[in-house]
Amino acid sequence: MTSHQNHPGEQGPAEDPPHRGEDLAALLQRLLGGAPGKTQKDLATAARISYPTLNAWMNRTRGTSRIEADTIRALVAAFRGWGVTVTPAEMFTAVGRPIPGRADQEREARLLRLYRQLPDEQQRAVVKYAEAMTAIAHAS
């Protein structure tokens, strides 16, 4: 009896499956596997995410399209802090979001979204606060 012959470039049974197309749950599971002794609770704590939210993402019972960019970056930072190699691009792709530009542009867009949700009086307070912070920063 002959065994199956692998052709060059063909994935054999002992090789790891390709990681392309992973959703967030699959990526987090794989990355947690690369962090011996770390659990979902450890990840939630390290990334400052509630455990029920993280667990829902991992069980695919909660959507991931609205995850803030800062949360995605916090997940990356947590894994990197444990010595697990992951890039922000991998994480954004797994969430199904475009990889954002510079972090300052993302923060600015987030601030503007929040600002627009405030009533006029609170918007004016935010502007005064920002002016005061700018004055302090320039005085230093």
Query: What is residue 48's three-state secondary structure?
Result: coil
Given a cut of 90, whether residue 48 has pLDDT beyond it is: yes
The model's pLDDT over 65-120, given as tens digits with 9 standing for 90+, comes to 788 888 999 999 999 999 999 998 899 999 888 777 666 777 788 788 889 999 99
Torsion (CA) 74, 80, 81, 83 in degrees, nearest 10: 160
Q: Which pTM was predicted?
A: 0.60
Structure token digits, residue 132: 């005061």
In the numeric block, which tokens belong to residue 6? 């692998």
- More confidently predicted of 98 and 25: 25
